[in-house]
Amino acid sequence: MTTKSMKRAFALVLAAVAAAALFGALVHGVLVAAHVSEPAATTVYGLTSRRLWASAAGVLALVGVLLGGVALARAANRWRFGAIVGVGTGLLAAVSGALLLAIANGGPGTGNGVVGAAGALVLGLIAMALGGLALARFRRLTG
């Protein structure tokens, strides 16, 4: 392994760790802002309907991030639809996460899915930003 490839690998790992730390900080900030950051006295185990809702919103947001990121990285004329779908799925996930946080009556461990909802909200906003940037680039290139 050459020095250049080692530096690149180190930079990628460092960027991934920084992105994970930023994501965790943003999720914690959302939980604090929604006043649901205090853990439950008794933990609910298993899958509840709200945890399933939050997980579905998180998966939807992750799909939006992937589509928006690919649309931003690839040729604009081929990935316009991916950018539009990325913005739409990001919006749906962010609204779903915000709605779930609004109706939650407890913090992590209560079975309300607040951690997943906060993650879906953050990822949904990221998906909308990536898709929006890709759409802006497409509009700039086409006219």
What is the mean predicted confidence (pLDDT) over 79-85? 86
**Across 92-96, 106-110, 131-135, least confident range:** 106-110
32-42 mean pLDDT: 80
* pLDDT on residue 46: 86
**Confidence category of residue 53, pLDDT binned at 50, 70, 90:** very high
Residue % of the chain over a pLDDT of 90: 37
**Cα(54)–Cα(125) distance, rounded to whole angstroms?**
15
Domain coverage including residue 55: 3-142
Residue (of 20, 21, 43) closest to 107 by Cα position: 43
Please determine, for residue 124, whether its predicted confidence score (pLDDT) is greater than 80. yes
**Counted domains in the chain:** 1
| Whole-angstrom distance, CA of residue 131 vs CA of residue 95 | 16
pLDDT of residue 107: 82
